[in-house]
Amino acid sequence: MEKDHAATASNVEDVVRMLTVVTGPPASGKSTWVRQQAKAGDIVIDFDTLANALTVAEFDNHEHPRHLVNVAKAARTAAIGEALKHSTDVDVYLLHSTPGAEALRRYRRQGARIVTIDPGEHIVRERCKRLRPSAMLPVVDRWYREQGDSHASDHVVSASRRSREW
């Protein structure tokens, strides 16, 4: 009987380890949500955090020169490829604002849980105006036009309360 219990515990541990893809418009609270969920040792792939780590920049910087964007994209692609190999051993959180159909298929083949963080268009626009480069507003427009209510998510977090002090 104890042997069966050990096997069950092992199966539960296997289920807990997973890939979580976090989507949502700019300034929706994706990074904050992941910081609230992830624990030490989990893999977190966040483009802005990665880009900021590749240069001398403030933690919350969201404006990157073209050459840094190119390097960060290459590093992110490599990190995703390697992290997917480990998503059954550790929890992997991948922030991907607007994954295309092919990316979603790839993530789903890996058994990903898709979570969309969307506190609402009004809140996102207000945050963007205060905290993001002006180039992000068209990205918000595109996200709501293309994603809108048709989230390809397993779970939508509306986050009506503040995810942090914005």
Q: What CATH architecture applies to the domain 16-46+89-157? A: 3-Layer(aba) Sandwich (3.40)
The whole-number average pLDDT for the span 2-13 is: 38
d(Cα 2, Cα 6) in Å, to the nearest integer?
Answer: 6
Name the pLDDT band for 142 (thresholds 50, 70, 90). Answer: very high
Res 78 pLDDT > 70: yes
In the prediction, which pLDDT does 148 show?
Answer: 58
The whole-number average pLDDT for the span 2-10 is: 37
Quick: pLDDT tens for 117-141.
999 999 999 999 998 888 899 999 9
pTM of the model: 0.79
Q: At what angle do helices 121-131 and 136-146 cross, to 10 degrees?
A: 160
Cβ-proximal residues to 20 (8 Å cutoff; 6+ apart), any chain: 37, 91, 92, 93, 94, 112, 113, 114, 115
* 26 contacts 139 by C-beta, under 8 angstroms: yes
